Amino acid sequence: MAFEGASKIWLNGRLIPWEEATIHVCSHVVHYGSSVFEGARAYRTKKGAAVFRLREHMERLLHSAKIYRMLPSYGLEELEQAVLETIRANGLEECYIRPIVYRGFGSLGVNPTNCPIDTAIAVWKWGAYLGDEALNDGVDVCVSTWNRVAPNTFPAMAKAGGNYLNSQLVNMEARDRGFVEGIALGPNGLISEGSGENLFVVWRGRVLTPPLSASILPGITRDTVITLLREMGFTVEEQMIPREMLYVADEVFFTGSAAEVTPIRSVDRIPVGKGTRGEVTRAVQEKYFQVVRGEDPDHEDWLTYVYN
């Protein structure tokens, strides 16, 4: 995806020009990956721009920061307002949102406690994460040779910058092999997630997704899709999933704030189902976009309007 940027970034309580949002090369985060972040989206609705599940994203940001002992100087409501302020300052109706808390310039040993904790929020225009055609046509993926982290190594429930070194390896390997994305196995050899997406499998009338114990991020879109599927009458089960189920599943799809709901049409060059977007995927995808675009009054509480 091309990166356009925007005009303003929120940094430690004030809006500054995009090009001035820089850090020192000896900042702790540069050398040790000491950051936690979020990825959210604002969508255009009939009532104007609305951030989808803003509170849940800011809660997860603070939870990640708590795990890494780097809580920012801003509380939940302050961060929510800062996100809205940043979108308004950039005049956007739709955008991707990237809040980040990181260890700045102070000292350069592994121990981060003498480094300041900085907080920033960036927003920019960003289309379909896995490509413009992916939402309809699906994507071709592979099972990566890289596994997700084992329990008690890195905290998988934290959305931390350092954790995404693993994700980079998964994604780069997939791209080098001619695929759009990779699927990582957990330390037990069972399905975990994509490099930046949660995973769902449709199998014999049930929808399956790996549990939190499978070394996955507790995705907010994942939670949304589980809720919507159950409301639509589907049976959803969180359970361990063997690799081979990907090859014989009726449908497989990714979820994530960036990926939204993206069908997977093949795994390791083996077609999933008919090799096209399946009916369950289509149904929940359509429902998801109705919700995020403010067309479903039952989930209006998931939207925070920017300009009201």
Q: Are strands 181-185 and 139-147 parallel, antiparallel or unpaired?
A: parallel
CATH classification for the domain delimited by 8-124, as one of 2.40.30.260, 3.60.70.12, 3.40.1190.20, 3.30.470.10: 3.30.470.10
Is 8 known to be catalytic? Answer: no
Which stretches does DSSP call E strand in 79-138?
95-103, 117-124
**Each residue of 91-147: pLDDT tens digit?**
999 999 999 999 999 999 999 999 999 999 999 998 777 777 899 999 999 999 999
Maximal C-alpha separation, the chain: 56
HSE-up of 75 (CA within 13 Å, CB side)? 1
* H/E element, 231: helix 220-231
| Percent of the chain surpassing pLDDT 70 | 99
**Each residue of 208-261: pLDDT tens digit?**
999 999 999 999 999 999 999 999 999 999 999 999 999 999 999 999 999 999
Q: Which fold has domain 134-292?
A: D-amino Acid Aminotransferase; Chain A, domain 2 (3.20.10)
| pTM of the full structure | 0.95
Confidence (pLDDT) at 5: 77
Please answer whether residues 70 and 59 qualify as being in contact, where contact means their C-beta atoms are separated by less than 8 angstroms: no
CA 205, 206, 209, 213 torsion-angle sign: negative
Domain boundaries, the chain: 8-124, 134-292
CA dist 106 → 25, 71, 101 (Å):
11, 17, 15
Average pLDDT for 178-199: 97
Catalytic option among 47, 66, 159, 274: 159
**Each residue of 23-62: pLDDT tens digit?**
999 999 999 999 999 999 999 999 999 999 999 999 999 9
Confidence (pLDDT) at 210: 98
Confidence (pLDDT) at 129: 76
Confidence (pLDDT) at 3: 64
